[in-house]
Structure 1
Amino acid sequence: MMYRNKTEAHWEPLLMIAREELGIESFDPVGKPGADIRMCRVEDIGRALERAYDLGLLVGHTVTRAEHAHGHCA
C-alpha cells in the first residue's frame, strides 16, 4: 500500500501509535522483498487500532466543537 500524503496532521500520531504498540518505526518500504513483513500479536494490533479509533473520535469531537463555536454548522 502506498501512502500518499505523509504530511497530513494525523500521520505523526498514527506513527507514534505504531511505534509504541507494534514496534514499527516507519511506514516507508525498506526496499527488500519481504523486509516489510512483521509478526505482531493480535492483542497489540487490537490495542493500536483502539488507540487510533480513540484518536479519531477525539479529533472529530474537537473539530465539531470548533465548527459550532465559529458558527459553521447549520
Structure 2
Amino acid sequence: MIYRNKTEAYWEPLLTIARDELGIETFDSTGKPSADIRLCRVEDIGRALERAYDFGLLVGHTVTRAESAKEPCA
C-alpha cells in the first residue's frame, strides 16, 4: 500500500506510535510480502490504537482552544 499524505502533520506521531508499540519502522512497502506482513499481539494493537486516539483528542483540544482564542469577545 502506498501512502500519499506523508506531509500531513499527524504522520510522524503515528509512525512513532507504530514503531514504539508494534515494531513497525516504516509504512512503505518493501515489495516483499514476507517483509511486509507482520504478526502483532492484540494487546499491542490495542495500546497503539489507544495512543493514537489520545493523540487525536490532544490535537483536537489544541485546535479548538486556538480557534477559541482567535474569536473576538462579545
Q: Which runs of 5+ in 2 are unaligned?
A: none
TM-score norm. by structure 2 comes to 0.91
Matches within 5 A, 1:11-22: 11-22=11-22
Alpha-carbon shift at residue 63 of structure 1 (Å) = 0.1
Q: What stretches of structure 1 of length at least 5 have no aligned partner?
A: none
CA RMSD after TM alignment:
1.3
Match of 1:59 in 2: 59
| Structure whose residues are more often helix by fraction | 2
Cα offset, 1:2, TM superposition? 2.9
User: May I ask how many residue pairs the two structures share in their alignment?
Assistant: 72
Flag as ranges the 4+ runs of structure 1 deviating above 2 A.
none
Instruction: Report % sequence identity.
Output: 81
The AA in structure 2 aligned to 1:64 is T
**TM-score between both structures, scaled by the size of structure 1:** 0.91
